[in-house]
Amino acid sequence: MQINARLDEEYADKLAYIQQQTNQSITDVIKSALELYYQQLQQEQKNALSMLKQTGFIGCGQADPDLSVNYKSILRDGLKAKYDYR
């Protein structure tokens, strides 16, 4: 693939500096930059939720389906049973 791009002076200077420091061609500098950006985007997609889903952690617990509504009475009953309260 051939790419034509217009760079303003700031980016042209940055590209020239990178070339000078690395002794790479423009093509190699662009490939390296694309690879780094690609890796960064791949890492961002591995957010906490997707990592939890991949490990199977989400959904591993068991509870009453109405726990969020009846949590107080469920907790009270559980504490009574555990500590033999009357």
pLDDT at 68: 87
Q: What are the tens digits of pLDDT across the range 11-31?
A: 999 999 999 999 999 999 999
Q: Is the confidence at residue 85, as pLDDT, over 70?
A: no
pLDDT at 33: 95
Helices (H) and strands (E) in the chain, counts: 4, 0
pLDDT at 67: 86
0.75 exceeded by the pTM? Answer: no
26-45 vs 9-22: helix crossing angle, rounded to 10: 100
| Contact assessment for residue 74 and residue 67, using Cβ atoms and an 8 Å cutoff | yes
